Structure 1
Amino acid sequence: MKQKLWDHQLRARELKREALRKYGSTVCVSPCGSGKGTMIADDAIGAVSKGHTVQISVYRRILVEQIAERLQLNGIRYSVQMPDLPDKPWAIRDQHADVIVSSRDTMAAILRNGGEVRRSDLHIIDECHGFETLGYQTINKAVQPRWLLGYTATPVRPDGMGLSNRVFKSMVEAAKIEELIEKGMIVPVEVYVPVKTAKRRRSGLKISANGDPIQQWMSHAYGLRTVTFCSNIAESKMVRSEFVANGIAAEHVDANTPREEREAIFTRLLLRETLVVCNVGIADVGWDFPALECVQLLTKCGSPIAYWQKTGRVARNYLDEQKSRGVLLDHSAAMAEHGWPNLSPLWELSDREPIQKRQQERFGESAPSDAKPIICNKCGRGSIGLRNCPCGNPLFRDSQEKPETAGENLSLIGDAAEFAVGKKNYQKEWTNILYMAANHPTGSKSFAWAASIFKNKFHDWPEKFSVTPTVPFDERKRSIVEVYPQFMRRREAV
């Protein structure tokens, strides 16, 4: 069974092959949700068809399984290097295989213990932005490949400089984020930021995270499966406790959490038995959880790698529930430094300047005026390309207030704001809010409570959007379950 490729994957295939023939090494920029596993398997299949051997080194164990399954479906002779090989159809050991698939940790352990690594013609490296920092340099030296092909969504070093020509001689982009959104492979992300903090960050001033994590989550992401990124383990545990104290099912994971327990926590998140998982750096690079609906950033994300890898988790589409959007609660306004999640960054291979500078020039003070968000002085919302804010207030670029950030809340901002107001399925959102309100941990909430949540999202009351069911204004204080008891049961959004 030959795997089918999207047009952007076919286009990238030709660009990669041309670059490898010409330069011997290349980086393939593969945004989250672009089908990296499929492309890696396709690269290996193509190399084997020409009589070459392949070593695939990936960052996480789950990708070993995904690639092995694809190779198996296509009749490729492969071998999985894994110390505790599970009893599954894809888990095959074959010393004469054309393709070897292994995780970075397995390869590093083999070399550390004095073992040998087979030389291969083509070495494919996952998350190659960590070539120097994640140990891939040592692995590649042992493999001694003729061709080197790297994959990453973030082709920069931690300081934002390009990977340059010291290792990779060229770069190709598999797809733009905008293209993947248009195809439905990923979903648009609504960004909520403290807009005055965003101004300070864009100006290079010191900032700190703003907005109460619990209050802002309740206002903008209530009921959504959420991963909260914190600065350290102590903060993660504290935030988890605050969520629990407010009646929200929340858990904490860190590097010391056993694998079985970690998997159980994320299974509960999938089933909505848990709504928030707090962590430091567990659910970012290489973590695949399409059902995720919200990412909450309580950490500064000074590195573009940290920002794009974390925000990319929520953009993956989840067809089982017809996911239509992701939500980013950006408490430290990292977006102001690194860019919009719905627009591909200006990646470059050279290390002449950091990506942050190009992104700030694109949206910052030196950008053309029509490319910068205007902050509404009435509601605090930011918009691009609008003469009037969705709240009705006229927008003037020369009437911005001086930033004061203490106790600042988060506001929907930028091109995502236009998406939310102009294209949102309001009925689906209203139904979901009613369900969540009726099943609140502290008891069924009133219609007034649910209507306030809706108004926070869309800046007007539900009745304006002709959603159902609603009640007369003088009955809004009644419990939802009292009027519509069917919302006590799980109900599919319409």
Structure 2
Amino acid sequence: MLLRPRQRLFVERSVRALGEHHNTLGVAPTGAGKTIMLSAVTGEMIGDSRAKACVLAHRDELTDQNRTKFARVNPAFTTSVVDAGAKSWQGQVTFAMVPTLARAANLDGMPALDLLVIDEAHHAAADSYRRIIDRALTRNPHCRIFGVTATPNRGDGKGLRPVFSNVADQIRIGELIASGHLVRPRTFVVDVGVQDALAGVRKTADDFDMIQVDAIMNRAPVTEAVITHWKEKAGNRQTVVFCSTVRHAENVTAAFNDTGIPAVMVIGDMGEAERRAALAAYGRGEAQVVVNVAVLTEGWDHPPTSCVVLLRPSSYKSTMIQMVGRGLRTICPDEHPGLVKTDCVVLDFGTSTLLHGSLEQDVDLDGHEGCGEAPSKDCPECGASVPLGVSECPICGYVWQRGSEVIPINDFAMTEVDLLQRSSFRWCDLFGDDAALVASGFNAWGGIFFLDGLWSAIGGLHRQQPRLLAVGERTICLAAADDWLNENETDESAHKSKRWLGQPPTDKQLALLPAECRQDFGLTRYQASALLAFRFNRQAIRALVTQARDGSNRRAA
């Protein structure tokens, strides 16, 4: 398996920071592949030694996911699990559930570790995590601590400075949108006559006072206006709504249903079976809207969601990022056939967008990719070493003043990243019209094809039927095809600078190609390989592309 170029850079910077500081934090939003990256960092740090590592997560599904993906990145390492059902440290890398490991009896059984990895590292300031971290450092003062998170600034205001002294790297949401790994948000700030009142809501230790917010937002005329604007801007989209209180959520859910829009509600004190049933109804499309109160902020994803409605303000940018992030996932055609998603509508009826300005700690949406050492600066508040570009410290939340600079609060103005240049593979324009591009490796091939205004990404393994990878915008499809090759190829087959790629075609290749190709004296061996991948799979490709065009009767955008 190969990492994307940006993932490799993240890993290199993290390993370097661990060597220099003995701890570091990496910031990577949804869509960056943080599990793949933390697995690669772990493998790099252990290397060929007999070192032991532990990867922490706070939920069963994250532990399972981390272990599965780790095995794909590092197939040679042995692994074990510490959770409610098993407590084994036999593997070189152990995947542990925090609530289980943090118990005194289980901590006593933890061996000396050389590396402690913390997934969702914004939790690292919590007492349960600190007990594990402190015990690891007591057993081995040289144990390195590596954390990865999408949202480093905690809602309770606790800084991560006691655990991390620096930030190795930060992948921005704008980079992932520009590279096709997230869809772009289209944000509308809508004042339904309550923004002045919301501006006066007091802050509590955790957030704005939601009882006050409820008194302002939970009124029939406001809810009616919300639904009217929603119908106008997002009426055919699956939507997640964030409310201030349970009573507010109940009334908003009822209002959607009374208007003929099927809606379900998810709140914290629901039974597990009831919550699963509500989310399953939304997942099947039986409900178009899911309304919640601080339940779906983290750890929940339903990629067809292409509208996010904010009916509450947030005093923390991290909370706003988490809420909006629920709608930025791209679509897998296998899981959601016929659905095309190109963007996400964000309807902010509160003041979060006005308060925080954007989804970035640093507004850089051109997708420029740095290389080598990450330029850094020291935070004047906590002293942490952080990336030079950030305007908000990921460790303590300190905000650098931006002078008179105006931060845009509406749509992302995107400049497409040319993945053809960043890819580890050489992409061939088969017919010179930019409508069919193919890259080929030893085990797999990938391609993107344009038909009737729609791009399709197709991936294949040798001697197997091709499969549809993505449908929609060119950038998203190219990202999906490139990721397919990354998943199925290795360094040996990927690097586009290999000398043999530019050599003349073999006689066997020429014999299999059409006559006109034999007269193309500029044809290379690699171009011939790409043409043959297309020629051998032409009927299947045509069927999948036609099926994608004809089946895209449901649009999430």
User: TM class by shorter-chain length?
Assistant: 0.5 to 0.7
**2:69 corresponds to:** 70
* Shift in Å, 1:84: 4.9
The equivalent residue for 1:7 is 5
Task: Identify the residue that residue 295 of structure 1 maps to in structure 2.
Answer: 308
- Amino acid across the alignment from 1:69: T
CA contact (8 A) 2:125 2:160 kept: no
- Are 1:192 and 2:210 matched, yes or no? no
- Asked whether 1:335 is paired with 2:353, we answer yes
Closer, same or farther: CA 288–134 of 1 in aligned 2, 3 Å: farther
Q: CA deviation at 1:25?
A: 0.7
**3-state SS in 2 of match to 1:296:** strand
Report matched runs for 1:469-480 at 5 Å. none
Cα–Cα, structure 1 residues 349 and 266, in superposed 2: closer, same or farther, change >3 Å?
A: farther
1:350 aligns with 2:349: no
Letter in 1 for 2:302: F
2:242/2:311 contact within 8 Å kept = yes
- SS at 1:79's partner residue? strand
Query: Cα RMSD between the aligned structures?
Result: 3.7
Report the residue type matching 1:101 in the other structure. F
SS in 2 for 1:415: coil
Q: Structure 1 residues 142-151 or 203-212, which shifts more?
A: 203-212
Matches within 5 A, 1:248-287: 248-287=261-300
Are residue 97 (structure 1) and residue 83 (structure 2) matched?
no
User: What stretches of structure 2 of length at least 5 have no aligned partner?
Assistant: 203-212, 334-338, 365-375, 383-390, 416-451, 455-550
Distance 1:263 1:186 in 2: 26
Normalised by the length of structure 2, the TM-score is 0.59
**Aligned-residue offset at 1:158:** 3.0
Aligned mate of 1:230, from 223, 243, 247: 243
Which secondary structure state, in structure 2, belongs to the residue aligned with residue 56 of structure 1?
Answer: strand
CA contact (8 A) 1:221 1:294 kept: yes
* 1:54–1:123 CA contact under 8 A, matched in 2: yes
Give deviations 1:314-371, integer Å, cap 9, x for gaps.
Answer: 1222232442111212111201112223774699873639949987955xxx523xx3
Cα distance 1:195–1:342, how it changes in 2: closer, same or farther (>3 A)? farther
Between 52-61 and 209-218, report the one with greater CA deviation.
Answer: 209-218
How far apart are 1:97 and its partner, in Å? 0.8
CA gap of 1:96–1:297, structure 2 versus 1, over 3 A, is same
Counterpart of 1:30 in structure 2 is: 28
What CA distance in whole angstroms lies between the structure 1 residues aligned with 2:553 and 2:315?
Answer: 41
Structure 1 stretches lacking a partner, 5+ long: 86-92, 374-412, 420-426, 430-488
The answer on 1:367 being equivalent to 2:380 is no
Matching residue's letter, 2:290: V
In the other structure, the counterpart of 2:81 is 80
Query: Is contact 1:163-1:349 (8 Å) kept?
Result: no
The equivalent of 2:117 in structure 1 is: 124
* Equivalent position amino acid for 2:95 in 1: V
> In structure 2, what is the equivalent of residue 491 of structure 1?
553
The one-letter code matched in structure 1 to 2:146 is L
Once residues 105 and 323 of structure 2 are traced to their aligned partners in structure 1, the CA distance between those partners, rounded to angstroms, is 30
Is this contact kept in 2: 1:269–1:276, CA < 8 A?
A: yes
Matched to 2:252, the amino acid is V
Number of residue pairs aligned between Structure 1 and Structure 2:
373
Q: 1:43–1:197: structure 2 CA closer, same or farther, 3 Å change rule?
A: farther
Three-state SS of the structure 2 residue aligned to 1:105 is helix
**What is the CA-CA distance between 1:195 and the residue it aligns to?**
5.5
Cα 1:330–1:351 shift into 2, 3 Å: farther
CA drift at 1:134: 6.5
Whole-angstrom distance in 2 between the partners of 1:418 and 1:202: 31
- Is 1:319 the counterpart of 2:332? The answer is yes
Distance (Å, rounded) in 1 between the aligned partners of 2:345 and 2:249: 20
Q: Which moved more, 1:276-285 or 1:127-136?
A: 127-136
Which whole-Å CA distance do the structure 2 matches of 1:326 and 1:283 have between them?
17
Does the 8 A contact of 2:125 with 2:163 survive in 1?
no
Aligned to 2:207: none
Instruction: Name 2:483's counterpart in structure 1.
Output: none
Is the 8 Å Cα contact of residues 230 and 299 (structure 1) preserved in structure 2? yes
Query: Aligned partners of 1:102 and 1:201: how far apart in 2?
Result: 46
Identity across matched positions, percent:
25
